[in-house]
Every structure is written in structure tokens, then in C-alpha cells.
């Protein structure tokens, strides 16, 4: 932990020492090393740092390293239509509860989205191990009469090699290990209204072994506020 500076550095003048650095250094070499929340909080420090920290390419890099699934041509195009591009996308998809429910972009329009894009990322020890994007139409009667579910794996998409070592059956410490180290993100994007939301809790809500098949089920959840 670094110690706080002597007050003399503050007395030096309003601009502060960090602003004696060339803006290119701050932007290209320092801000690129921060994550989303740090960059957001840097923007609140002063208008000068805000002007440096709102650049699209900074947020694009942060988004793509947070969610590798975003490296997808359709999503790139959709995110570029968001009001502040990747910065909007990040703040809407960041997996912490947002106390203020997002306001709909289109006032009065309650029409259902005709299409939803899901960007799914699964992490182990914080490192992404699986990413997938699924585009889905949402107006057909087939969609409207079935539970909303994504099947990511199939004959064409076998599961990737995973670094997770399979634990012995009925091993509670192994289930606990999964609960603590496996995290997920499921971002649903409405391309028409230019909105995104992360439907996954960062950590598992429960980890259980299925009583019959022996498969391990890891559940994530999110509680949403609904309109009347």
C-alpha cells in the first residue's frame, strides 16, 4: 500500500502533478491499465481526467477483455450504435446491481424486442474459459410459447477443453471450490433499443450434483424489478 503524499504536492498548484504528464502518456500508458470501475471513478476526479477517460477505444478494450464473447462482428456493430458506445455497454452490463432501473430509450414503446443477442462468458479463477454469442429472434410463436433458454453446447459445438479438474463424486469441498471459482456472465442485448443487461450473478447461487445423472448444476441468478 502506497503512503499518501506529503501535502506539498497539493500546494504545488491546482493542476496537480499527474497533469504535468503529457495527455498521451496518461491516456495510452496509464489509463489503459485500469479496469472499468477504476476508469469510471477516474472520470469523476476532474473534468480534465474525464476528457481523457471517456475515449471509446479505452472502453472497447476493457469490454473485450472483460467479456471475450464481444469479439463478434454483429455485437461490435450493435454496440457501436449505443449512445456512448462501449462505455454505455459496460455500465449497463457490469454485474453489480444498478439501484436506478435503466430508463427505456424509446418512451412509451412497450413493444417486445424482435431479436435478442446473448453474449455468454464463463470464467474459472477469473480467467475466461468459454465464450459464445447466440442471436435469437423473439417474435415467432415458437419462441413465445417456449421457456427462454439457450443451448450453448451441441453436436456442432462440443464443450471446450476445460482446465477444471473433475472432482470425486459427493465431494463437497469440490462443489464448494466450483462455487467460489466458477463465475459467469450472460449479457442480453436488445439491438433495436440499444440496451444491454447482465442476467447473471457473478458468483454461483447454488452448486449441486443432480441426484440422478450425477451432473453438476451451477446456478446463477438475478432479481429484476418489473414494471406493472
- The footprint of another protein (CB under 8 A) covers 1-6, 9-12, 14-22, 25, 29-31, 33-38, 40-50, 91, 94, 96, 98-100
Instruction: Name which of 92 and 179 has its Cβ closer to another protein.
Output: 92
- Smallest gap from Cβ 92 to another protein, in A, equals 9
Helical pair 56-66 and 86-93, crossing angle rounded to 10 deg? 40
Q: Which is nearer to another protein, 40 or 199 (CB)?
A: 40
* Cα 188–chain centre separation: 10
For residues 196 and 92, is the Cβ–Cβ distance under 8 A?
A: yes
Residues 217 and 208 sit within 8 Å (Cβ to Cβ): yes
Which residue lies nearer to another protein by CB, 5 or 108?
5
Given its phi and psi angles, is residue 194 left (phi above 0), alpha (psi -120 to 50 degrees) or beta? left
Q: How far is the CB of 70 from another protein (least distance, A)?
A: 18
Nearest distance from residue 79's CB to another protein, in Å?
17
Complex with another protein: residue 2 or 155, whichever CB lies closer: 2
- Number of CB atoms found within 10 A of residue 116's CB: 19
Residue given cell 499527474 in the structure block: 18
The cell numbers describing 118, all together, are 446473448
CB of 184 to another protein, least distance (A): 18
Instruction: State the nearest-atom distance from the C-beta of 21 to another protein, in Å.
Output: 6
* Beta-ladder partners of 128: 123
Whole-number minimum distance, CB 95 to another protein, in Å?
9
If the CB atoms of residues 174 and 183 are measured against another protein, the closer one turns out to be 183
Tell me whether residue 44 or residue 159 sits nearer to another protein (CB atom): 44
Give, as one character, the DSSP assignment of residue 17.
Answer: G
8 A C-beta contact, residue 174 and residue 80: no
Cell of 40: 469510471
CB of 226 to another protein, least distance (A): 20
Cβ neighbours for 119, distance < 8 A, ≥ 6 positions apart: 67, 69, 70, 72, 75, 131, 132, 133, 185, 186, 187, 189
Torsion sign (Cα): 54, 67, 78, 82: negative
Of 22 and 219, the one with the shorter C-beta distance to another protein is 22
Amino acid at each position: 500500500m502506497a503512503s499518501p503524499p506529503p501535502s506539498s504536492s497539493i500546494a504545488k498548484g491546482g493542476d496537480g502533478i499527474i497533469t504535468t504528464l503529457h495527455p498521451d502518456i496518461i491516456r495510452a500508458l496509464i489509463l489503459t491499465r485500469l479496469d472499468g470501475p477504476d476508469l469510471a471513478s477516474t472520470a469523476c476526479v476532474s473534468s480534465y481526467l474525464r476528457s481523457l477517460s471517456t475515449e471509446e477505444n479505452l472502453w472497447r478494450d476493457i469490454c473485450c477483455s472483460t467479456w471475450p464473447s464481444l469479439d463478434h462482428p454483429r455485437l461490435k456493430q450493435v454496440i457501436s450504435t449505443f449512445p456512448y458506445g462501449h462505455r454505455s455497454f459496460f455500465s449497463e452490463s457490469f454485474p453489480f446491481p444498478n439501484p436506478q432501473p435503466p430508463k427505456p430509450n424509446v418512451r412509451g414503446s412497450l413493444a417486445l424486442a424482435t431479436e435478442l443477442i446473448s453474449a455468454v462468458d464463463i470464467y474459472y479463477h477469473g480467467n475466461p474459459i468459454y465464450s459464445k454469442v447466440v442471436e435469437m429472434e423473439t417474435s415467432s410463436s415458437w419462441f413465445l410459447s417456449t421457456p427462454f433458454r439457450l443451448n450453448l453446447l451441441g453436436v456442432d459445438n462440443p464443450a471446450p477443453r476445460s482446465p477444471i479438474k473433475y472432482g470425486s463424486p459427493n465431494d463437497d469441498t469440490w462443489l464448494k471450490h466450483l462455487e467460489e471459482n466458477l463465475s459467469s456472465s450472460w449479457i442480453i442485448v436488445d439491438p433495436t433499443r440499444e440496451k444491454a443487461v447482465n442476467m447473471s450473478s457473478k458468483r454461483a447461487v447454488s452448486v449441486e450434483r443432480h441426484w440422478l445423472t450425477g451432473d453438476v448444476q451451477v446456478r446463477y441468478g438475478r432479481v429484476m424489478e418489473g414494471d406493472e
